[in-house]
């Protein structure tokens, strides 16, 4: 194929890394170009949705995206285009926008989905490419429903919440229920009252070994009854063996990872946030080391099963291979169109490490790949086999029990044993009717424990259980609620902030539907139906718009009420009858508020006066409102001569904000927000 011909066959993906990897496999047969993520989106500073028709106004995100699109258009002229963006709603939406831009000047446009970035897979998938017109437009409609619906909820309810609570608050269709979960869990912990319970056990001697046996009902609520058992058995010297049960217990391996289970496991085992896990998994996918990482499926292809079974035989021998091929199926049959997350190279770990090194990936990539490698291989291995022994003793007609467990055959645990909580407890050789010496009796008072705070992993699990969000959104939900200051991390656990309480209290009173778990789940299920072309995305948006625009905005914010109540307390006044009356409440605040500026304001104003040469009258120094107005005026004056530092300039350039270099006030505003977000993350 000549170079000229090759330029007329173009593959479009989102990521430059993925484009580079695919280009290596295809040589000069195709030109592979990346859009660099979403190149079109709703505008940043306006609703961008016609509220009569719900039609969105998508715009090209940046000058760089405009330039990339122009290059793609030139390449695609009279050519064959293969749109190979990710096989989910977001990926399809990017592909759909490309299709709309190119359909007039390309000879043909086809849709192809890559589930792994390997030479064989890519070549096979390209052969199966279909005309874009025959692909599932339901994916784009589901994307529209989510994007437009979320924009409407955010743009209508966030200003309402900010005004009525007092401050800056954001409301999200999916993020707000997640905040509610964390607030409710914290309330459960605060309101929890520990209840005592009692555990009775005995220490029995067999040769040189001590066995601990527990009263048959391990948790006793009555202290009197527990003390009675101890009193009645105290003088008894022996415990008689009245029953021995031996049972072989088999444990089967778990299926390959889904997105949420990978996020949960990486959170508990590696302490990675869901966001970090997804970034690392994206890199592993794009470098051809794992299958596509956004999936609800646990299925594995026949080729993968065959490759992994061969690897198990070579690594551990036939006895470690499951006798029958393990077929994993997802609860959601639609999910099985995809595969679970698995390795793509069926080679030992040492060779996987070589590939990681060749591709220049980090130690953290290595840790995540090892987790996926272990789980992939274990999924086709033999069961682990335990021998469980339960011995029942009689002491003065009270029954005590001990259980021991030893592993007879490791099976899949030879490679994947990270979550194993079973400890081996060996019970010595005991015979039926044998008497063992009782050396001690124990009575322990214990207390019930409150529920644990959510970790990022356990919150993802809860969101999945409730049907809130989807594989591609869990990481974004957690990132958003942290960045917006509703949740902070303490160690590995998530704590709600004061803002979270204010928000959930407000939504509970005014817009309960936003944080209703069932409603949120129903909305997600509706979008699934849109994806299947069974529902109209505008119906989804219309419902959200109707709910968001219901209810009047109160002129009296919660912040205003709280301030007035503090003043009322200070001056011994009762203002219950005017709390909802904006005019009267404003008059009360004006009459009783402290009009003197703070010492900090005075010092700041004096410093600005020296810097700018502006006169600072005495009357300004005596009035809080006047000093505020004066400071704002002086700051504008000071800004005229302010020069950005080299460090400030380099941060703006690094994060693609070069356009602000010529607008100092806006640059400083952006930098201020940037550092606030950074502090919140810490």
- Which residues are known to be catalytic? 292
- Rg over CA atoms, the chain: 32
10 Å Cβ neighbour count for 114? Answer: 25
Cα separation, 207 vs 437, in Å, equals 10
Residue recorded with tokens 């849709």: 111
Classify 332 as helix, strand or coil.
coil
Cα separation, 511 vs 554, in Å, equals 13
The secondary structure of the chain in percent helix, strand, coil, rounded to multiples of 5, reads 50, 15, 35
Cα separation, 254 vs 271, in Å, equals 21
Conformation bin of residue 430: beta by default, left when phi > 0, alpha when psi is -120 to 50: beta
Backbone angles phi, psi at 17, to 5 degrees: -65, -45
Question: 221, exposed or middle or buried, with CB in 10 Å at 0-12, 13-18, 19+?
Answer: exposed
CA distances from 474 to 83, 176, 464, 470 (A): 26, 13, 9, 6
Residues 229-236: contacts with CB under 8 Å, at least 24 apart: 229/200, 229/398, 230/200, 230/441, 230/443, 232/396, 232/398, 233/202, 233/395, 233/396, 233/398, 233/438, 233/441, 234/441, 236/395, 236/396, 236/438
Q: Which of 380, 376, 255 is nearest to 320 (CA)?
A: 380
For residue 204, the cross-strand partners are 211, 438
Cα separation, 474 vs 453, in Å, equals 18
CA distances from 156 to 69, 476, 544 (A): 32, 21, 10
- Give the torsion through C-alpha atoms of 352, 353, 356, 357, to 10 deg: -140
515 close to 176: Cβ distance less than 8 angstroms: yes
Residue recorded with tokens 């009854």: 225
Question: Which pairing describes strands 130-131 and 209-215: parallel, antiparallel, or unpaired?
Answer: unpaired
Cα separation, 678 vs 500, in Å, equals 19
Q: Residue 667 contacts by C-beta under 8 Å, 6 or more apart in sequence?
A: 644, 648, 652, 657, 660, 661
DSSP 484: T
Cα separation, 463 vs 475, in Å, equals 11
Tokens found for residue 548: 């968001």
The full 3-state SS of 311-329, as one line of letters, equals HHHHHHCHHHECCCCCCCC
10 Å Cβ neighbour count for 582? Answer: 13
DSSP 171: -
366 close to 383: Cβ distance less than 8 angstroms: no
């Amino acid at each position: 194929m000549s170079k000229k011909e090759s330029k007329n066959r173009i593959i479009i993906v989102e990521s430059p890394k993925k484009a580079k990897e695919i280009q290596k496999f295809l040589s000069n047969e195709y030109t592979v170009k990346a859009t660099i993520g979403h190149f079109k989106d709703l505008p940043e500073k306006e609703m961008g949705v016609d509220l009569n028709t719900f039609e969105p106004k998508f715009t090209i995100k940046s000058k760089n995206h405009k330039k990339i699109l122009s290059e793609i258009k030139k390449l695609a002229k009279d050519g064959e285009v293969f749109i190979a963006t990710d096989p989910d709603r977001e990926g399809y939406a990017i592909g759909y926008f490309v299709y709309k831009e190119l359909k007039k000047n390309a000879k043909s446009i086809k849709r192809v989905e890559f589930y792994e970035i390997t030479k064989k897979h890519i070549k096979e998938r390209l052969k199966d490419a279909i005309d874009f017109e025959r692909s599932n437009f339901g994916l784009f409609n589901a994307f529209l429903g989510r994007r437009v619906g979320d924009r409407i909820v955010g743009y209508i309810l966030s200003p309402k919440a900010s005004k009525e609570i007092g401050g800056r608050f954001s409301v999200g269709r999916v993020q707000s229920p997640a905040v509610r979960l964390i607030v409710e869990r914290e309330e459960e912990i605060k309101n929890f009252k520990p209840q005592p319970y009692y555990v009775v056990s005995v220490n029995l001697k067999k040769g040189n070994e001590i066995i601990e046996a527990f009263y048959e009902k391990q948790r006793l609520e009555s202290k009197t009854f527990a003390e009675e058992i101890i009193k009645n058995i105290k003088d008894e010297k022996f415990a008689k063996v009245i029953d021995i049960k031996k049972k072989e217990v088999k444990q089967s391996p778990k299926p390959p990872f889904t997105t949420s289970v990978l996020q949960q496991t990486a959170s508990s085992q590696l302490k990675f946030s869901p966001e970090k896990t997804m970034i690392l998994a994206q890199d592993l996918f794009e470098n051809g080391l794992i299958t596509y990482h956004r999936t609800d499926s646990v299925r594995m292809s026949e080729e993968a099963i065959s490759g992994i079974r061969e690897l198990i035989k070579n690594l551990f021998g036939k006895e470690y291979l499951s006798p029958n091929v393990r077929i994993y199926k997802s609860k959601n049959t639609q999910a099985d169109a995809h595969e679970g997350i698995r390795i793509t190279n069926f080679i030992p770990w040492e060779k996987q490490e070589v590939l990681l090194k060749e591709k220049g990936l980090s130690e953290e990539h290595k840790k995540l790949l090892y987790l996926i490698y272990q789980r992939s291989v274990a999924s086709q291995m033999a069961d682990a086999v335990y021998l469980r022994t339960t011995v029942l003793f009689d002491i003065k007609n009270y029954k005590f029990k001990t259980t021991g467990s030893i592993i007879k055959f490791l099976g899949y645990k030879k490679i994947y044993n990270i979550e194993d909580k079973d400890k081996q407890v060996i019970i010595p050789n005991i015979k039926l009717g044998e008497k063992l010496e009782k050396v001690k009796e124990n009575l322990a008072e214990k207390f019930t424990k409150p529920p644990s705070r959510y970790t990022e992993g356990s919150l993802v699990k809860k969101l999945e259980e409730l049907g809130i969000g989807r594989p591609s959104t869990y990481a974004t939900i957690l990132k958003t609620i942290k960045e917006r200051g509703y949740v902070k991390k303490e160690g590995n656990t998530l704590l709600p902030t004061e803002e979270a309480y204010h928000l959930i209290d407000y939504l509970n009173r005014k817009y309960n539907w936003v944080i209703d778990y069932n409603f949120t789940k129903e909305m997600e299920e509706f979008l699934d139906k849109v994806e299947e072309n069974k529902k109209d995305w505008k119906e989804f948006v219309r419902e959200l718009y109707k709910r968001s625009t219901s209810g009047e905005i109160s002129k009296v914010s919660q912040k205003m009420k709280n301030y007035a109540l503090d003043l009322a307390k200070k001056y011994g006044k009762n203002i219950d009858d005017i709390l909802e009356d904006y005019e009267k409440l404003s008059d009360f605040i004006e009459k009783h508020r402290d009009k003197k500026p703070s010492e900090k304001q005075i010092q700041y104003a004096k410093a600005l006066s020296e810097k700018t040469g502006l006169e600072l009258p005495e009357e300004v120094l005596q009035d809080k409102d006047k000093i505020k107005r004066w400071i704002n005026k002086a700051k504008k004056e000071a800004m005229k001569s302010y020069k950005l530092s080299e460090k400030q300039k380099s941060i703006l350039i690094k994060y693609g904000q070069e356009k602000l270099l010529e607008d100092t006030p806006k640059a400083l505003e952006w930098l201020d927000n940037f550092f606030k977000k950074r502090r919140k993350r810490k």
